[in-house]
Amino acid sequence: MKLWQKGVDAHKKVDKFTVGDDRKYDLVLAQYDCEASIAHAMMLAKIGLISSQEAKKLTKALSEIQKKASVGKFTIEDEFEDMHSKIEYLLIENLGELGKKIHTARSRNDQVLVAMHLYLKHELVEIKDQVKDLFELLLSLAEKHKKKILPGYTHLQVAMPSSFGLWFSAYAESLVDDLYIWQSAYNIADQNPLGSAAGYGSAFPIDRHHTTESLGFKELKINSVAAQMSRGKLEKSTASAISSIGSTIAKLSMDICLYMGQDFNFISFPDNLTTGSSIMPHKKNPDLFELVRGKCNTLQGLPNQLALITTNLPSGYHRELQLAKGLIIDAINEIKSCLEILLFSLPNIKVKTNITDKKKYDYLFSVDTLNQEVLNGKPFRDAYRELGNAIEKNNFKPNRDIKHTHIGSIGYPGLDAIRAKMDNLPS
C-alpha cells in the first residue's frame, strides 16, 4: 500500500531503491506519527470536518497503535511503503470508511516532518539529561581529586602544573558550551510544522494553533514553505549539537587513552573495564575509550554529511531529504551509547598521586619558579633569561611549592561557578 498510488504498481527495483531502509527507521518514528495523527484528528473535529465521535474512535485506534509502536510491537511489512501507509491501513481495517478520513488536510510531507520534530524533541531531552549526568560526575571527580597535581602539556611536551581538579572540571565546563548549541537545536525542533501539507498549506480551514498546543510545541512554524524548508535544517541543527558533544567526549577519551599508557601512568581502571591482547599477557587496553573516540569523531562529520545532501536544493520537497532520517536516528543512538558507557566507566577511574615528584617533571615548575623571582622584585625579562641559562647548564632547581589563587587555577578551580553556569541554562 502506497498513499500516492493511483492504480499502477511501481517496478520492484524502483520500490526497493526508493524505500531503502525507511521501514526500519519508521519503526522508531511510528509512535510520534500516531501522536501527531491524534492531534490532527482532534483538530479535524474542532473545525467540523469530522464529528467528535469519529475523532474519539480515531484517537482510540491510534492510541492502540502508538502503544504497540512504543514497545516495539509495531511492524511494517514489505507491502507497505512506510509507517504512514501501514498506520492508515490499520485504521481502515479497524474503522472502515472512517479510517480513510485521517489523511484529510495533510500530506506525507508534514506528517514525517512533525513526527521527526516530536522525535528529536524527545531525544534531545534524553541527551541533555545524559550530558548533565556526565557534568555532575566530572564535577564530583574534580572535587574529589582537586588537590592532586597533574602534568600539563603543550605540543605534547611537559609544560606547566595542572591538577585532576582542573582536568575533570575542564570537560564539565566544555559540556556547558555543548548545551548552548543543544539549546539552538531544541528551539528549532520545538516548532510545529503540521498543517503545512506538501509545503503550500491547505484549502481546508485547519486550526494550526490547536495542533501546536495539543502537541506541546512552543512555537508554530508559520510559513508553509519555511516548514518544508526546515527538512534537513532540523536534522543539521541536531547534528551540530551531537557533533559538539561528541567533540568534547572524544577529546576526553583521547586524554584517558594517553594517561592510561605506561609512559604516562596517571590513571587506571579495573581490569573488567579493559581488554587484553591475544599474544601479550601484560596488556590492559582502553578499548572502551578508543571506541568512544572513534565513534564521536565519526559523529563530528555528520553535519557535513547532511550539508552535502541538502546543499543547493531549491525550496519544496525532494526525495533525497529522506536520507537525512537514517543518519540522524543512527547518530542519536550512537551519542547516547557513548555517553552511557562513560557514565558507567568513569566512576571507576583510579587517579595516581605524587606524579610530579619524579625528576622528569622538574621543568614542569619552571614558570612557577620564574614567577616567584618576579614576585621577589626581579624584572620578568631578567628572571626569564637567568632561568633559561640555568636550565641550559643543568643548574635548574624547581620550586614545587606552587601557589595559584585566581579563579580557574590549580588553587581555585571554581567548581561552584562552573556548576552555576550549568544551573543558569534554560530548563
What span, in angstroms and rounded, lies between the C-alpha atoms of 84 and 34? 9
- DSSP three-state, residue 358: coil
Go through the domains of the chain in sequence order and give each one's CATH number.
12-104 (1.10.275.10), 117-202+226-356 (1.20.200.10)
Where are the strands (E) in 221-334, listed by range?
A: 267-268
Q: What pLDDT is attached to residue 226?
A: 95
How far apart (Å, rounded) are the C-alpha atoms in residues 332 and 349? 26
Q: Which helix (H) or strand (E) holds 259?
A: helix 224-260
Phi, psi of 214 (to 5 degrees): -60, -40
The pLDDT value given to residue 317: 85
Q: For the residues of 196-233, what is the DSSP string, one character each?
A: -TTTT--SS---HHHHHHHTT-SEE---HHHHHHHHHH
Rounded to the nearest 10°, the torsion over CA 232, 236, 242, 243 is 140
Q: Is 372 exposed, middle or buried (0-12, 13-18, 19+ CB in 10 A)?
A: middle
pLDDT at 87: 95
Instruction: Please report the sign of the dihedral spanned by the C-alpha atoms of residue 302, residue 305, residue 309, residue 314.
Output: positive
Q: How buried is residue 397: exposed, middle or buried, by Cβ count under 10 Å (0-12/13-18/19+)?
A: exposed
Model pLDDT, residue 92: 97
Instruction: Give the model's pLDDT for residue 13.
Output: 76
Residues of the chain with pLDDT under 50: 4
Give the three cell numbers for residue 130. Answer: 545524559
Between CA 201 and CA 203 the distance in angstroms is: 7
Cell of 112: 514525517
Provide the grid cell at 424. 543558569
Are the C-beta atoms of residues 231 and 320 closer than 8 Å to each other? no
Q: Please, which residues have CB within 8 angstroms of residue 127's CB and are 6 or more apart in sequence?
A: 182, 241, 242, 245, 332, 335, 336, 339
The model's pTM is 0.92
Q: Which residues pair with 275 in a beta bridge?
A: 285
Say what the pLDDT of residue 313 is. Answer: 86
Q: Are 5 and 80 in contact (CB under 8 A)?
A: no
Q: For residues 87 and 425, give the distance between their C-alpha atoms in angstroms, rounded to a whole number.
A: 39
Burial degree of 409 (CB within 10 A; 0-12, 13-18, 19+): middle
- pLDDT at residue 4, as a whole number: 44
pLDDT at 31: 97
- Cβ contact 22:325 at 8 Å: yes
The pLDDT value given to residue 10: 62
Which of 76, 70, 73 has its CA nearest to residue 119? 70
Distance of CA 271 to CAs 34, 274, 285, 362, Å? 46, 5, 9, 32
The answer to whether 74 touches 33, Cβ cutoff 8 Å, is no
